[in-house]
Each structure stands twice: as C-alpha cells, then as structure tokens.
Amino acid sequence: MKEQKRENFGSKLGIIMATAGSALGLGNIYRFPCEAGANGGGAFLIVYLVIALAIGTPLMIAEFVIGRRAKQGPIGAFRLLGRGREGQRRTPWTLVGYLGVVCAFLILAFYTTVAGWTLGYLGKAAANHFSGQDMTQISQQFTDFTNHPWLPIVCQLAFLALTAFVVARGVKQGIERWSKLLMPLLLVIMVILCVKSLTLPGAAEGLRFLFAPDFSKLTPHVIVSALGQSFFSLSIGMGALITYGSYISRSDNLVTTATSVALADTFVAILAGIVIFPAAFSFGIRPEAGASLAFTTLPLVFQQMTGGYFFCLIFFLLLVIATLTSTISLLEVIVTALTEELHLSRTAAAIAGTIGTAVIGVLATLSFRTASPIHISGRSFFDLLDHVTALYLMPIGGLLIVLFVGWRMRRKDMLDELSSGLVSEGSASRASRFLATSIRFIIRYIAPVAILVIFINQLT
Ligand code: TRP
C-alpha cells in the first residue's frame, strides 16, 4: 500500500473550528429558518433537535472514523476499508464515495447561488440600499436582485472563484486560519441581533411559532425535512467530513470533537430562528416565505437598530465568510477526489471542479427567476437540486455510512477510533470504553433503523 504523508490540523481547536466552519453557513442562517417556517415551526424544531443530536452527531462521528482510519478522501477511504480480504481490489462500497462526490457537486451548484446573494447583499449593505425602506420595498429588492439579468450570476461566479482560490492553496493555511478568527465574531453579531429582534413589537408571536410545537403539523414530510436539514446543516451524509477526519490527528478524540461541533451548529441555527421569526412576525412577513425569508427579514432588523448600517455591513461580511468556509469544504470533497483518483494537481483539480460547478450552478441561478423556463415538473432547477440532495442523496448516503462503520469495519478498529484521544487509565478508561460501546450501538442499530424508517415513511 502506498504510504502517503498527510498534513494534520495544527491543534484541537483547529479541527473543531474548521469543522464548525464547514457546518456553519447558509444552512443555519438561511436554510434552517426557511425549512422551519415552511414546516410549521415548533414541531419541526423539536424533531430537528432530536435528529441532529441522536442521529446527526453519531453520523458525524462515523464519518470522522472512516476518514481518520483511511487517511484519504471518501472514495479512497471506502475502497481501502471496504475490502474484505487482503488483495481484493474492488469493493462496491467505493460507490458510496462516488455518491458523496456527486452530492457535493450538486449541493455546491445551488449553494453558490445563495452564496452569490450574500455577496450581492454585502454590496447592498455597503451602498446603504436598505435605509428608509419599508417591508414591501425590501422584499421587492430581493425579487429585483434575483431577477437581475446578470448580477446574481456575476456574484455567484465571483464566490466560486474565491472558493477555488482558497482550496487551491491547501487545507491548513486556507481553512484553519480563517475559521478560527471569524466564527466567534459571527456568533457575537447573532446575539446582538437576537436582542434587537426580541424587543420588536409583536416579537412574542414569532417566538411562539418557533418554540410552541403544534404536533398536528407533524407529517412524514416534515420529519424527513428535519432529517435532511440536520444532515445539510452538519455537513454530513456525503463524506465531506471523511476528508476532514483524514486530517485529524490520533491524539484528538472524535466523539468530543463531533459533539462540540454539532452543539455549536445547532445553537447557531436556533439563534438564527430567534432572530428571524420574531422579526418576521413583527414586520408582517409570512414564515413560509421561503428563500426570501432571511434576505428580507435581516435588513429590516438592521434598519431598526442604532448603528444599523455598520452592523448590517459587518453581518453580511461575516455571512460571506461563514458561507465561504462551507463552500470550501464542499469543493474540497471534489478536489480531493480529483487529486486522489485522477492524480490531478491541486490547482488543476480546483479549476476543473470550479468550472463543472459553475455550469450547473448558473443554471440553478437562472432557474430562480420568476419567469424562468428551467423548471422540472413544476419545481425550479434550484429547488430540485436542494430537494434531491437533502431529501434523497444525503439520507441514503448517511444510511450507507452508518451501515459501513457499524457492520463492515472491524469492531476493534472502530472502538479504537472512538476512544483514541481519551484518558486511558483507571475509571476514566472504563467510562471511555462505555462511551465508545454506546456510540457503536447507536451507529449499528439506532441510526440506520431511524434513517430507514423516516426515509421510507415519506415515500409512501
Ligand atoms: N453545512 C453547511 C451549511 O450549513 C453546508 C455544507 C458544507 C454541507 N459542506 C457540506 C452540506 C457538506 C452537506 C455536506 O451551510
């Protein structure tokens, strides 16, 4: 076997921050409110929380386990660990790796549409486009922007180019440095926004929408949407974190790392909900407004604040960066596949991946227009990409990943990965063994059954 030298993340905080950088992004600030709003609020939130912690976190751990064991991206990792006997060259598990790469590509395509909007809105914030505008005018701005003949495309391509630039420069300097510095700052701004939003007139109604569950709204579609959203938000179900796991050193513990990231990610999503719903109700924006929800509500909240211009500018700047750390992780999956499978150089792989994404991505952006012909059975191409990845590909990918780690990997290897980095003496060692065994149980039995039941339930 070819022994590759592989760089590791510099520090424990480095991995948590870089994984959090991948997890935190539009999924939390744009997609979570959008999904929660469309799926009835409180009931969705509860299902989301249960799934994110009980299935999402173990799945994140499972991806790390595969990545660190194999020290490769998803395709190579499944090929290496999926082999039954020594000398066997092919294994169908490799297909799970390919599925992940296809999924990354499809997500990145529509994700960069929205990423482009964040860049456009950064420009709008700088040019002070929101001041003195009412709800109707600001929501008109969203429609005008997304229907503009070339602006959203230019923004999308600029965003992709930025992503490619960072990815081509390598994982360590690129991802780690940025995320470590700026993610905590985003959190601070979110908390400030929260306070403002909660003091708007009529805010209580929005809080009730988000936190008081109406279980009559709980349909199989709501549950699978919560599953899809949790996978999307945690960046799991398609192998992105296998690549990250391959950079984690043996002295770090995978369970604590994944749990910290999952908690932080969930916290930010809820925070976004607390910013958006009270404000939306206060301004008279419908919670099921969809894609425009965050982009209409947020500028309106800033407008009500003293120093709103300044906060709005910083917020969109940080949102661009949070989004960038997510697009980096998606492009990273594609680039790792191209460098490891086709032996392209990192730069060539980044360019090839970017061009491919740009083609599909621009179609997604064009399909978002009100009168766009790019609709497939009544759904825009943009929605279709979102729908297919979150409701089908990620649940299927996630299921295969937990099955792989739970049933295909050797028990000893898995337990070893789960407990490495924890204290290995005395009663602490007994506790860490217990932890590893419980997580193995969830990965083997609970997660696969739950994903399968949720997935099949929505099909019927
Ligand atoms: N989790 C990111 C977000 O919430 C999006 C993302 C980045 C992602 N990498 C991923 C989603 C890999 C699925 C898989 O914005």
pLDDT per residue, tens digit, the chain (460 aa), is 344 456 666 667 777 888 888 899 999 999 999 999 999 999 999 999 999 999 999 999 999 999 999 998 899 999 999 987 666 778 999 999 999 999 999 999 999 999 999 999 999 999 999 999 999 999 999 999 999 999 999 999 999 999 998 888 765 455 566 667 777 888 898 999 999 999 999 999 999 999 999 999 999 999 999 999 999 999 999 999 998 898 898 889 999 999 999 999 999 999 999 999 999 999 999 999 999 999 999 999 999 888 999 999 999 998 998 999 899 989 989 998 999 899 999 999 999 999 999 999 999 999 998 877 778 877 899 999 999 999 999 999 999 999 999 999 999 999 999 988 876 667 778 888 899 999 999 999 999 999 999 999 988 7
Longest dimension (CA), the chain: 70
Q: Is the CB of 260 under 6 A from ligand 1?
A: no
Residue 290 within a domain: yes
Does ligand 1 have an atom closer than 6 angstroms to the CB of 331? no
| 88 CA from centroid of ligand 1 (Å) | 34
Ligand 1 site, residue 241, Cβ cutoff 6 A: no
The CATH number covering residue 285 comes to 1.10.4160
Compute, in angstroms, the gap from residue 189 CA to the centroid of ligand 1.
21
380, β-bridge pairs: 375
Any atom of ligand 1 within 6 Å of the Cβ of 233? yes
Rounded Cα–Cα distance for residues 278 and 209 (Å): 9
Regarding the beta carbon of 110 and ligand 1, being less than 6 Å apart is answered: no
Ligand 1 center to 115 CA (angstroms): 12
Cα–Cα distance for residue pair 353/154, rounded to 1 Å: 18
In this prediction, residue 89 carries a pLDDT of 74
Best probe residue, ligand 1, of 113, 235, 321 (max atoms within 8 Å of C-beta): 235
Ligand 1 lined by 389 (C-beta under 6 Å): no
pLDDT at 316: 95
Contacts for 315 with CB less than 8 Å, ≥ 6 apart: 125, 189, 193, 298, 302
Whether 60 lines ligand 1, by a CB cut-off of 6 Å, is: no
Task: Please report whether residue 232 resides in a domain.
Answer: yes
Q: Is residue 183 part of a domain?
A: yes
Tell me the angle at which helices 203-211 and 254-283 cross, rounded to the nearest 10 degrees. 140
Distance CA 378, CA 144 (A): 22
In 161-200, DSSP assigns E strands to none
Range of the domain at 371: 12-459
Number of structural domains in the chain: 1
Residue 231 lies in a domain: yes
Cβ of residue 113 lying under 6 Å from some atom of ligand 1: no
Contact 22 CB / ligand 1 (< 6 Å): yes
241-270 CB burial, b ≥16 within 10 A, e <16: bbbbbbbbbeebbbbebbbbbbebbbebbb
Residue nearest to atom 8 of ligand 1 (CA): 235
Locus of tokens 């700026």: 182
Number of the ligand 1 atom closest to the C-alpha atom of 240: 12
Question: Minimal CA–CA distance to 254: which of 266, 241, 239?
Answer: 241
59 by DSSP, 3-state: which? helix
User: From start to end of 374-449, where are the E strands?
Assistant: 375-376, 379-380
Judge whether 445 lies within some domain: yes
Cα distance between residue 146 and residue 270, in whole Å: 27
Ligand 1 contacts CB of residue 235 (under 6 A) = yes
Tell me the Cα Rg of the chain. 21
Is there a domain that residue 4 lies in?
Answer: no
Return the ∠ at Cα 67 (arms to 63 and 73), rounded to 5°.
110
pLDDT of residue 421: 80
Q: How far is CA 200 from the centre of its chain?
A: 30
Instruction: For residue 239, give both structure tokens.
Output: 């192998």
Pure H helices in 199-307: 203-211, 220-234, 240-245, 254-283, 292-303
Contact by Cβ (8 Å): 397, 238:
yes
Task: Report pLDDT for 3.
Answer: 44
CA angle 56, 60, 65 (to 5 degrees): 145
How many A from CA of 107 to the centre of ligand 1? 8
Torsion, CA 456, CA 385, CA 312, CA 143, rounded to 10: -120
Is residue 2 domain-resident?
no
pTM of the shown model: 0.94
> Which residues, at least 6 apart from 422, have a Cβ–Cβ distance to it below 8 Å?
253, 255, 256, 428, 429, 432, 435
Of 30, 232, 324, which is best to mutate to test ligand 1, by the most ligand atoms within 8 angstroms of its C-beta?
Answer: 232
Residue 6: which of 260, 250, 342 has the closest Cα? 250
- Host H or E run for residue 103: helix 94-126
Rounded to the nearest whole angstrom, what is the distance from the C-alpha of residue 428 to the centroid of ligand 1? 34
In this structure, the residue with its CA closest to atom 2 of ligand 1 is: 23
Let me know: does 88 contact 423? Beta carbons within 8 Å.
Answer: no
pLDDT at position 175 is 57
Instruction: For helices 94-126 and 151-168, give the axis angle rounded to 10 degrees.
Output: 120
- Residue 6, in any domain of the structure: no
So what's the pLDDT on residue 374? 78
